[in-house]
Amino acid sequence: MAIQDIYPTALRLLGRPVLVVGGGAVAARRAKGLLDAGAQVTVVAPVACPALKELADAGLLTWEPRPYRREDVDAVWFVQTATGDSAVDTKVSQDAEAQRIWCVNASDHEASAAWTPAVAVVDDVQIAVNAGGDPRRAMALRNAVATALETGDLPLRRQRAHRGSVALVGGGPGDTGLITVRGRRLLGQADVVVADRLGPRELLNELAPDVRVIEVGKTPGHHPVPQAEINRILVDEAQQGHRVVRLKGGDPYVLGRGGEEAEYCRQHGVDVEVVSGVTSAISVPAAAGIPVTHRGLAKGFSVVTGHEELSEVPARADHTVVLLMGVGALRDSASALGKAGLPQDTPVGIVENGYLPTQRVTIGTLGSIADQAEATGVANPAVIVIGDVVRVSPFAPPHFKTADYSTTTPNKPRTTASTTRVLTP
């Protein structure tokens, strides 16, 4: 049988009786697939493997513990052989053929009237691959196509009218490789993208020409599209039947107002999904080799957006403080932490444009960092890390290093001189 002899189609077996002859692992897989399609499955086999017994014991299929009989193919719509005995499989196939019933002969794909493809399901798209009777080849191709759909490399976007929805997608710190697979897939399905100025902006260039991009980006102190208007846009577009992706930098629920947007959608009867992203609070310091926790240096961390909250966080070098959107208030924040008792020689790292070609790392101390930032023109987007974990960064000057941040020795902070050194990757 050549591949040209195959007419690809899909069977709708919901509620229809089908027969599986065989009781091993292959029969169990085929029976499970038929059950997933809603078929009424009968298995005929003297012995059944544990997986088949479990399905039978649960009442999901009927198991006849005996050898095959010719009358077993009567009144069924579809037959699958999987006995491992070519003579039995051939007999079943011939009996089915005589009654014009489609049968998959697992022992002889060349003589089989039907082939079972390698199948994968991505959202509501089902992929079925036949590869000239070579099941391993079919599975490899199936997996490759499924991966391309899941990552957004192939279009999953619906072309017919459908119910509108909103997905709040965390795009990570900006590198296109740091968005989640789920987020990338939803972006590929979008009719409308409501985009921030941060996040993986390059992915917008890969959208189909008819996908609308609505820019709602904010900068510190400048919100051209107020949050209430963003909420309205999401709901209005979804109610028009569009699949809307709200593409955000970082994570929607980490200082991203995603909770407000999700609540507004639900209040207006719009389906909403939240896709977590790689938050810049952790990932951007990592781009500079700074862990927010490190054995022997810091067991916990706090993420804040301004100096007002700093009175609430531990003022210790062994508790990392991560400041988001904090460049403008850096001097006030440093002062607040100093007044709370944090030593002036506590290391501070600033990472601008994390993961982008323009990334820059500036390292100093609590006492020097504000002057240093002004002198070098530090600007948002930037993440500020305060604490002994900055010592771990490969960009830290040599005198910041200490032997006391191993995995076995507790940290014993030592006095270090202030520095205004700027290091760029």
Which residues are known to be catalytic? 196, 218
Residue pair 156/132 in contact by the 8 Å Cβ criterion? no
Q: How many helices (H) and strands (E) does the chain have?
A: 10, 18
| Cβ contact 198:381 at 8 Å | yes
For residues 88 and 179, give the distance between their C-alpha atoms in angstroms, rounded to a whole number. Answer: 52
Question: How far, CA to CA in Å, does 321 sit from each of 292, 332, 402?
Answer: 8, 14, 20
What is the distance between the alpha carbons of residues 154 and 162, in angstroms, rounded to a whole number? Answer: 20
In one-letter notation, the amino acid at residue 2 is A
> Residue 380: CA atoms inside 13 Å, Cβ hemisphere, count?
17
Q: Are 330 and 351 in contact (CB under 8 A)?
A: no
Are 250 and 170 in contact by the 8 Å Cβ rule? The answer is: yes
Contact 258, 302 (CB under 8 A): no
In the block, tokens 């979008």 appear at 190
Rounded to whole angstroms, how far apart are CA atoms 57 and 59? 5
Q: Which helix (H) or strand (E) holds 111?
A: none
Residue with tokens 């902006």: 201
Q: What is the DSSP letter of 116?
A: P
Output b/e per residue, 67-77; b: 16+ Cβ within 10 A: ebeeebbeebb
Question: In this structure, are residues 4 and 26 in contact, taking their beta carbons and an 8 Å threshold?
Answer: no
Ranges of H-type helices in 241-291:
258-267, 280-287
CA distances for 253 relative to 33, 87, 275, 276, 405, angstroms: 38, 61, 9, 8, 32
Residue 394 phi/psi, 5° resolution?
-65, -15
End-to-end CA distance of the chain: 60
- What is the C-alpha to C-alpha distance for residues 66 and 44, in angstroms, rounded to an integer? 6
Provide the pairing of β-strand 118-122 with 347-352: unpaired
